[in-house]
């Protein structure tokens, strides 16, 4: 397949691009290298991709890029680009979330409508559920986001469904549940935990540590993304890792894998949900998604990768 990957230089986008390239797909990456975190990390993310003859990168903003021209010869668009982060989405900072999560998605869908694409696969989020009423959570539960970020992800998901039903654009919206692995964004909890374990710096934990998440290893996720793209199935599906675990348990695991962590406990932040857990039966039945990587194994991969980077930085 010829695939477009928006957000190709990000954490998930770079892993997905590598996965597609390893399967022989042609990949056209689009990324505008925003400064939500250090763009040099994104440069490092895509360094290995440059060795593939079938990889091309365009430094473009989805809000202004000539998307119809870019999509004309593509089979699939994996739309991963967006403004991440729950805690930063309040107040005046809401504007970039609307622009990059809602308006950019509408432009992607308009361009997809104008060309003959097989599929648009959109990266939604478990944040659309908010504090879900039941666990594991199924897709038919009414979404009730508790953050502006979650509102924008749900709005973009509704756009995908709208274009699917009314314009014939084959879309899949996958609700990601807390993705982790090597190269995870530096603001995310596991990345900060591993950094604290290796550097000796304190880890700031918001809440009592008994909050739990359904953690999904990035390798399982990108496999599921490609499975969804190849399948004729369309609609909305959860993508989880099958390993709902508390933050206190994660701290213990990383402490065993690396070094004991100095934890500083702080009040819960607004927008943070207490628990998440995914029912992934729709994804399993629809396109064969099954997570395989156990949490401790995935964390070990993350620690090993971080050790290499940490060693280089110390030289």
Q: Tens of pLDDT along 154-197?
A: 999 999 999 999 999 999 999 999 999 999 999 999 999 999 99
Distance separating alpha carbons of residues 5 and 15, to the nearest angstrom? 11
Predicted local confidence at residue 133, as pLDDT = 85
Catalytic position from the list 149, 163, 217, 289: 149
Which residues share a beta bridge with 262?
none
Q: Tens of pLDDT along 57-95?
A: 999 999 999 999 999 999 999 999 999 999 899 999 999
**Mean pLDDT score, 298-309:** 94
**Mean pLDDT score, 261-279:** 93
Topology of 2-180+215-242+275-292 in CATH? Answer: Rossmann fold (3.40.50)
* Position 315 pLDDT exceeds 50: no
Is residue 314 very low, low, confident or very high in pLDDT (cuts 50, 70, 90)?
Answer: low
Residue with tokens 């390993």: 243
Predicted local confidence at residue 313, as pLDDT = 63
Predicted local confidence at residue 96, as pLDDT = 96
Predicted local confidence at residue 311, as pLDDT = 66
* Position 270 pLDDT exceeds 90: no
Catalytic site residue 135? no
Distance separating alpha carbons of residues 133 and 125, to the nearest angstrom? 17
Question: With pLDDT > 90 as the criterion, what percentage of the chain qualifies?
Answer: 93
Distance separating alpha carbons of residues 259 and 254, to the nearest angstrom? 7
DSSP run (H or E) holding 111: helix 104-114
The full set of domain ranges for the chain reads 2-180+215-242+275-292
């Amino acid at each position: 397949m010829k695939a477009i990957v928006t957000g190709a230089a990000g954490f998930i986008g770079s892993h997905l691009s590598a996965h597609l390239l390893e399967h022989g797909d042609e990949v056209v990456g689009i990324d505008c290298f925003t400064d939500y975190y250090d763009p040099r990390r994104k440069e490092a993310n895509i360094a290995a991709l440059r060795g593939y003859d079938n990889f091309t990168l365009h430094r473009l903003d989805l809000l202004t890029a000539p998307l119809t021209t870019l999509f004309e010869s593509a089979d699939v668009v994996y739309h991963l680009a967006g403004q991440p982060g729950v805690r930063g989405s309040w107040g005046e900072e809401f504007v970039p979330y609307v622009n990059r999560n809602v308006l950019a998605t509408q432009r992607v869908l308009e361009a997809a409508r104008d060309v003959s694409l097989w599929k648009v696969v959109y990266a939604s989020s478990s944040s659309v559920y908010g504090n879900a009423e039941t666990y594991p959570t199924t897709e038919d539960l009414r979404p009730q986001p508790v953050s502006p970020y979650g509102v924008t992800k749900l709005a973009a998901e509704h756009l995908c469904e709208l274009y699917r039903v009314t314009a014939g654009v084959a879309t899949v919206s996958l609700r990601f549940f807390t993705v982790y692995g090597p190269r995870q964004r530096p603001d995310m909890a596991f990345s900060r935990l591993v950094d604290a374990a290796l550097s000796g710096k304190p880890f700031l934990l918001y809440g009592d540590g008994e909050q739990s998440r359904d953690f999904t290893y990035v390798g399982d996720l990108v496999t599921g993304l490609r499975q969804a793209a190849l399948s004729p199935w369309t609609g909305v599906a959860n993508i989880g890792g099958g390993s709902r675990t508390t933050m206190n348990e994660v701290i213990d695991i990383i402490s065993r894998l690396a070094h004991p962590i100095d934890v500083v406990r702080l009040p819960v932040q607004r927008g943070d949900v207490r628990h998440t857990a995914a029912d992934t039966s729709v994804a399993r039945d629809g396109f064969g998604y099954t997570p395989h990587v156990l949490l401790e194994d995935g964390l070990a991969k993350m620690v090993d990768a971080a050790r290499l980077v940490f060693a280089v930085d110390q030289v």
